[in-house]
Amino acid sequence: MRITIFGSGYVGLVTGACMAEMGNQVLCYDIDAGKIDRLNNGEVPIYEPGLDDYIARNVEAGRLEFTNDVEKAVAHGLFQFVAVGTPPDEDGSADLKHVLAVARAIGEHMDDYRIIVDKSTVPVGTADKVKAEIQAKLDERNSTLEFDVVSNPEFLKEGAAIGDFMKPDRIVVGTDNPRTSELLRTLYEPFNRSHDRMILMDVRSAELTKYAANAMLATKISFMNELANMAEHFGADIEKVRVGIGSDPRIGYHFIYPGAGYGGSCFPKDVRALAKSAAGEGYQAQLLNAVEGVNIRQKQRIFDKMSAHYDGDLSGKTIALWGLSFKPSTDDMREAPSRVLMEALWEAGANVRAYDPEAMQETQRIYPDQAGLELCESANQALEGADALVIITEWQEFRSPDFTLLKDKLADAVVFDGRNLYEPETIAHFGLAYYAIGRGKVPGKVAPKPSRRKTDRG
Ligand SMILES: NC(=O)c1ccc[n+]([C@@H]2O[C@H](COP(=O)([O-])OP(=O)(O)OC[C@H]3O[C@@H](n4cnc5c(N)ncnc54)[C@H](O)[C@@H]3O)[C@@H](O)[C@H]2O)c1
């Protein structure tokens, strides 16, 4: 089948590469000419495990191409996938300008029947707006061409996106037209082999399903973070509580890890956008507003613990920071808790020596000339000259550090762990002070040790 993908970001590239892998003829379009040049030069502009191999193999086979020629893009595919960004507007609602720009481009250039498949996460009712934009352009051209608009939300997880796309839990298709549902079924057949995962519904329900899934997951995280904060007051250990409740199959173990708050390109913006669009319909989404509020507070928790440890004075401290991406196995820094933490540390006059296995380039791009930021080549290099260590993303390589080295390198012998990677007893054994999330009594502050470096300096 011939497929055009509008938007060559995380979703667009994964969709394009996986569709090409199944033998389809795919053309990926992006308005960012630089991105298309890089792709045409064999470079993959994002880090997603396995994606570079998929792209290389399918480009080589002639099934996957990249262009910034919009006319060519519209002419190419029966299926026109929309995978452009839907960033938050200033008021938190989803900004549809990219989606509607694609709709207008399709309306301007289409010369045959087209199925517009919306993969971007969009508020309920967007398919109607897309339809209206295309129709308006066709009317301007006095054209009677037919088209259909389908909602096909994407559920892939960054870091595991290829696997999620190739073996999806579900393929949600929202359409009111049996003809398009059959064509979509055929298109997705290769991804739907062992049992039927296709869930057909009306367009509006499909649009809401995507927001509902992300809002549910964000709610689980904020719920656990709220409980973790309570556990600190009660002198309980949230990690024990997590296992205690996760063992109930009605609750389950997924997404109940307490931490430094959720980030990324989806949960924060989708929770806000859903609450905002509900408010636009006259409904106040109390629970979702609380989920968002808890998350904003949670992103400050680690800084608050650091500040309390240092009696409110972090100026001149050098902090080693492990993990910058919003979660492991991606270089995505959108709404990452590390950004909130680093910005608070700089504001407090501290210096940051940061390391991340994949997100260094992205950090450099976001903070090009940031005083107080040094990007280090390894986790251990970040420790050089540091007073304290803070962990904010749970990359595998941080799970089993050399605690003797930490004790030796960190002048103030203290570790702040935003992801509960270590056992408090283990850390204590090595003579390190340890602050985690929801693990026992706080602010029961460990008295700061006199900084060796300060003492050295006299
Ligand atoms: N990233 C995820 O994990 C994920 C998962 C599921 C759904 N989504 C949703 O998918 C959509 C895309 O997300 P993403 O993370 O891939 O975004 P992204 O920012 O990585 O990529 C979006 C791309 O669209 C391009 N673009 C913007 N306007 C365009 C236009 N008019 N024509 C063609 N290209 C245009 C941008 O240049 C960019 O390359 C969003 O709605 C997002 O909420 C994302």
Give the pLDDT confidence of 232-259 residue by residue, as tens digits: 999 999 999 999 999 999 999 999 999 9
Question: Three-state SS for 263?
Answer: coil
134 pocket-lining for ligand 1 (C-beta < 6 Å) = no
From ligand 1's centre to the CA of 164, what distance in Å? 17
Average pLDDT over residues 362-383: 97
Q: Which amino acid is at 353?
A: R
Residue 402 CB coordination number (10 Å): 13
- The whole-number pLDDT of residue 391 equals 98
Going by C-alpha positions, the residue among 32, 16, 117, 30 that lies closest to residue 64 is: 16
Question: Three-state SS for 90?
Answer: coil
- What digits encode the pLDDT tens for the residues 62-87? 999 999 999 999 999 999 999 999 99
Average pLDDT over residues 372-395: 98
From ligand 1's centre to the CA of 223, what distance in Å? 28
Res 419 pLDDT > 60: yes
- What digits encode the pLDDT tens for the residues 149-192? 999 999 999 999 999 999 999 999 999 999 999 999 999 999 99
Cβ contact 74:105 at 8 Å: yes
Res 305 pLDDT > 70: yes
From ligand 1's centre to the CA of 246, what distance in Å? 33
From ligand 1's centre to the CA of 17, what distance in Å? 15
Give CA–CA dist 403/195, Å, rounded: 48
- Tell me the pLDDT band of 440, cut-offs 50, 70 and 90: confident
Res 25 pLDDT > 80: yes
Closest residue by CA, ligand 1 atom 20: 9
Average pLDDT over residues 314-323: 98
11 pocket-lining for ligand 1 (C-beta < 6 Å) = yes
Going by C-alpha positions, the residue among 414, 424, 398, 408 that lies closest to residue 447 is: 414
Closest residue by CA, ligand 1 atom 18: 9
Nearest atom, ligand 1, residue 45 CA: 39
Question: Which residues are part of the catalytic machinery?
Answer: 266
Pocket test for ligand 1, best of 4, 6, 8, 11 (most atoms within 8 A of CB): 11
101 pocket-lining for ligand 1 (C-beta < 6 Å) = yes
